[in-house]
A and B are shown apart, each in its own frame.
Chain A
Amino acid sequence: MQHTPFDLQLLNACAAILLLLSFAMLAQRRIVALVNLLALQGAMLFIATMLLAWRTGQNHLYVSAALTLGLKVIALPWLLHMLIKRLNVQWDSEPLLNVPGTMLIGLVTVVFSFGLAQPIAELASTATRNSLGIAVAVILLAFITMITRRKAMSQVVGFLSMENGLFFGAMSATYGMPMIVEFGVALDVLVAMLVLGVFFFQIREQFDSLDLHHLESLKEDQ
């Protein structure tokens, strides 16, 4: 069996932890903990990017890493914590029905993702190509997180987690997107976050709650 270099092993470990964190988010029912998990996911992403930058010597990856650190580990979780405090929802927990069922769906999704990533990974020339399956899995798991939640705040966390997955996917397939795209995406996420923050206040003002099932009343009657 071929010996994998130590730094690549580290990288794979990071990827594995990312996936693990995604599962943790799927099962987590407290909002504050969910945000912390997101920050942790960001930190893993940061470490992975640094490792990759160091390994491949691609300077722009350092910038990406710095962006990740600033935005996903510090700014966004901080913003979310602020919001949670301002909205006074830190004690909210959602009765996430049937955790084992969700987990099973998650497992199927991961298998599907790896199957999906296999042909692409064979085409890619990067050292990290094996992590592509993990990236797709992170995206789809984040999607499932969003589907199974009822609180607006968790939807946003799921959305940001999905962005993490996309970022990781781009990194493992092609050593990151062009700088300009990355900046754009980073800015988009930040703006989306701010806009959603405004929406939270509006939603709460309207319905006295951030529970999304209130929004069902907005549907047009037949």
Chain B
Amino acid sequence: MAPIDSPLTLSLALLACWAVVGAAGLLRPHSVALVGRVLFPLGAIVGVGLAIVAALSLTEPVEHATLHIGLPDLPMHVRLDNLSRVFLALLGSASAGVSLFAAGYFRKGEGTAPGVMGLQYHLFLASMGFVLVADDAYAFMVAWETMALTSYFLVTAQHGIPEIRSAGFLYLLMAHVGAIAILLSFGILQGGTWLFSFDAMRESTLSTPWATAAFLLALFGFGAKAGLLPLHVWLPEAHPAAPSPVSALMSGVMLKTAIYGVLRVTFDLIGDPLWWWGLIPLALGLATAIFGVVFAAVQTDMKRLLAYSSVENIGVLFTGIGLAIVFHGVGMTELAALALVAVLYHSINHAFMKSLLFLGTGAVLHATGERNLGRLGGLIHRMPWAAWLTLVGVLAIAGLPPLNGFVSEWLLLQTFLFSHEVPQPFVNMLLPLGAAIVALAAALAGYVMVKFFGIVFLGQPRESSLAVAHDVDGFEKAGLVWLAIGCVLLGLLPNQVIHALGAATEQLVGAAPNLAGQSWWMLAPLTERDVSYAPLVLLAVIVAVVAATFLIVRIVYRRPVRRAPTWDCGFGRLDPRMQDTAEGFGQPIRHIFVSFFEMERDLPSPHDQAPRYRVKVSDRFWKGVYLPIAALLARAANSVAWLQQGRISVYLTYSFITLVLLLAVML
């Protein structure tokens, strides 16, 4: 057993604290004061503690422990290594902001009682943490399923609404299909030893076909959790259905447990992945990225838009994983490490920025009761705090320097630039195409974010009810500020972050990006090339240019600022309904990528007195993949449905015949 003050013991104790904090909510389940003002902030403190413990222990050796909890004679193994530490730090730090926001968010009379909600929320956090430290298949699956179940209940918090119930069902279904694949993958990985501890899996050697099968099953299972194409359909349904802090946790943190799982299985449990495996997540990741961002561009519901944007980011992450596998497989460990750093960095970044954005939509939703982009607008005047903090997240996720989203995407593109050195002729010709797709996805992500921010916060309010919108305050503001600061710091201090992440890549692929001898403010991931990035200098330049522009304008133009209505081109009165709409903004994308969509459009006739334009964009995968599978299942079920007679005596006869046959055969 590990000593009492070891990071592993502390981490486990903090996870237990989350469970206790959650359970305390049951004392007075309907008290918003207790659950909101006391327990959620406590949960945030635990999160900060977990992040600190994990981050400070990054260079320490691997720790093991055996927990005798749960079933007798079936102990749970736990292990704290650098990969776990990176993800625990992500979990703790990002969830701290979300918990702070949630402290001010949950109100009375919205679906599940606050105390029950708090229990589910904190168990969700604790189970995600336990997924990250589990060191045998049993502990992993228990934690994984707890995570799926608690998040299911959180998604269906407002279970009175049929759409939310069906979204929850779809989510639970996909989660279980994925879990079965993961379980089967573990079943292969144990390699005939029938020992399900991860240590045994590390030591067992598998033949190539079996190792490939294990990898593909893990990719399927974790891909289903992450929302990898074509297993993404649940994500745009379930994430928007949940209350905003839960959406933030699911998009920001839970998807990363799937990334963790893929990394764990591929680089740790299988150990030496073949290079061509990488092409699968690479291709799927690129497809997912472009698909997600194109769909995000045409959404009219702000939370669905963000959910599709999460799909895009998952695609980017899987692209990075694929690259890392390819590089590792052909022996270019330095580049594999760089790709992995990009993946880990982007995971952390996405956790912060997507949580920030989802919480921003939560603030808007609470202030206006509206999720439809077509009914929002001009909120920057009413909700300056929410707007400016969301702007930080928007700029970050659009990949603009000096914020964090830029760094990780830049790193990934840098990695792509070296792919021509891969000693596989076709691969090194095709990989630059991947770089182009990533760049396209990044650019379109910028477009999506302009749409999101511009339509929600800028312009004029499209509805009169928006005039009473109130800004965030107290805990909600604190949560947003925490995440925004995270986005800024992660952007300004890339060297420090990469150095820390190097500890994890060292463990996974045996190499870390070489930053020795570099100045602390200048990032040059591969020293032999002359590419470098100095965020602080860039920030200083930006500040200087802005200040100079401001001063020059002030000096040149001395008259007072005059406010007047927008020029209406002589058309008469302009009203807020004439602003560009979400549909209008997305139209060019819908036009260019028309083959991606299944579209239903009602165009009004020119003589219509009350014209209505309606467009419904749906996912081709739904019709092309899911409905045929569902129909097939229904047919198969119907063909054995005659077994169900509804009569107990018939069922008993089945049992009787089975028993007699078994007895007769076995003896």
Residues of A within 8 A of B660 (CB): 112, 140
By the criterion CB–CB under 8 Å, are B652 and A143 in contact?
A: yes
**In the bound complex, CA of A147 to CA of B651 (Å):** 8
Interface, chain B (partner A; CB < 8 A): 638, 641, 644-649, 652-653, 655-656, 659-660, 663-664, 667
Instruction: Check if A205 is an interface residue, CB within 8 A of chain B.
Output: no
Provide 9 A-B residue pairs closer than 8 Å at the C-beta atoms, listed in order of the A residue: A119-B667, A136-B663, A140-B659, A143-B652, A146-B652, A147-B656, A149-B649, A219-B644, A222-B641
CB atoms of A219 and B646 under 8 A apart: yes
Q: In A146-204, which residues have CB < 8 Å from any B CB?
A: 146-150, 155
Residues of chain A within 8 A of B646, CB atoms compared: 215-219
Partner of B656, one of A119, A143, A155, A215: A143
Q: How far is the CB of A88 from chain B (nearest CB, A)?
A: 22
**A112–B663 alpha-carbon span in the complex (Å):** 10
A147 to B652 Cα, complex, angstroms? 6
Contact with B along A207-222 (1 / 0, CB 8 A): 0000011011111101
Contact code string A80-103 (vs B, CB < 8 Å = 1, else 0): 000000000000000000000000
Q: A116-B663, A143-B659 are in contact. Are A216 and B652 (CB under 8 A)?
A: no
Interface residue? A20 (CB, 8 A): no
> In the complex the two chains form, what is the Cα distance from A51 to B593 in whole Å?
86
Is A212's CB under 8 angstroms from B656's CB? no
* Inter-subunit contact B638/A222 (CB<8 Å): yes
Contacts A116-B667, A215-B646 aside, 5 further interface pairs with beta carbons under 8 A come to A143-B659, A146-B649, A147-B649, A213-B647, A217-B646
Is the CB–CB distance between A220 and B644 below 8 Å? yes
> Contacting A143 at CB < 8 Å: which of B648, B655, B664?
B655
Tell me whether A147 and B667 are in contact (CB under 8 A): no
Say which residue of B638, B641, B645, B653 sits within 8 Å of A147 (CB atoms). B653
Number of A interface residues at 8 Å Cβ cutoff, please give it.
23
Shortest 8 CB-CB contacts between residues of A and residues of B? A219-B646, A216-B646, A147-B652, A147-B649, A143-B656, A212-B648, A146-B652, A147-B653
Partner of A120, one of B649, B653, B659, B667: B667
**A140 partner residues in chain B, CB cutoff 8 A:** 656, 659-660
Q: Closest residue of chain B to A150, judged by CB?
A: B649
Across-interface contacts of B644 in A (CB, < 8 A): 219-220
Please measure, in the bound complex, the distance between the C-alpha atom of A219 and the C-alpha atom of B643, giving whole angstroms: 11
Contacts of A144 in B (CB 8 A): 656
Residue of B whose beta carbon sits closest to that of A144: B656
| B656 proximity list for chain A (CB < 8 A) | 140, 143-144, 147
- Chain B residues whose C-beta falls within 8 Å of the C-beta of A212 in the assembled complex: 647-649
Query: For residue A148, which residues in chain B have a CB less than 8 angstroms away from its CB?
Result: 649
Q: Report chain B residues within 8 Å CB of A155.
A: 648
CA gap between A218 and B649 in the complex, in Å: 15
In the bound assembly, the distance between CA atoms of A88 and B43 in angstroms comes to 56
Residues of chain A with a CB closer than 8 A to B664's CB: 112, 116
Q: Which residue of A lies closest to B666 (CB)?
A: A116
| Alpha-carbon gap, A215 to B652, bound state (A) | 14
Per-residue interface assignment for chain A, residues 108 to 141, with 1 indicating a CB less than 8 Å from any chain B CB and 0 otherwise: 0000100010011000000000000000100010
Contacts of A222 in B (CB 8 A): 638, 641
Q: What CA separation (Å) do A215 and B641 show in the bound complex?
A: 17
Residue ID in chain B nearest A118 by CB atoms: B667
On chain A, the residues within 8 Å of B652 by CB distance are 143, 146-147
A222-B640 Cα distance, complex, nearest whole Å: 11
CB distance from A199 to the nearest CB of B (A): 12
A209 and B145 CA atoms in complex are apart in Å by: 41
| Alpha-carbon gap, A139 to B663, bound state (A) | 13
Contact B647–A216 (Cβ < 8 Å): yes
Contacts of A116 in B (CB 8 A): 663-664, 667
Question: Distance (Å) between the CB of B192 and the closest chain A CB?
Answer: 32
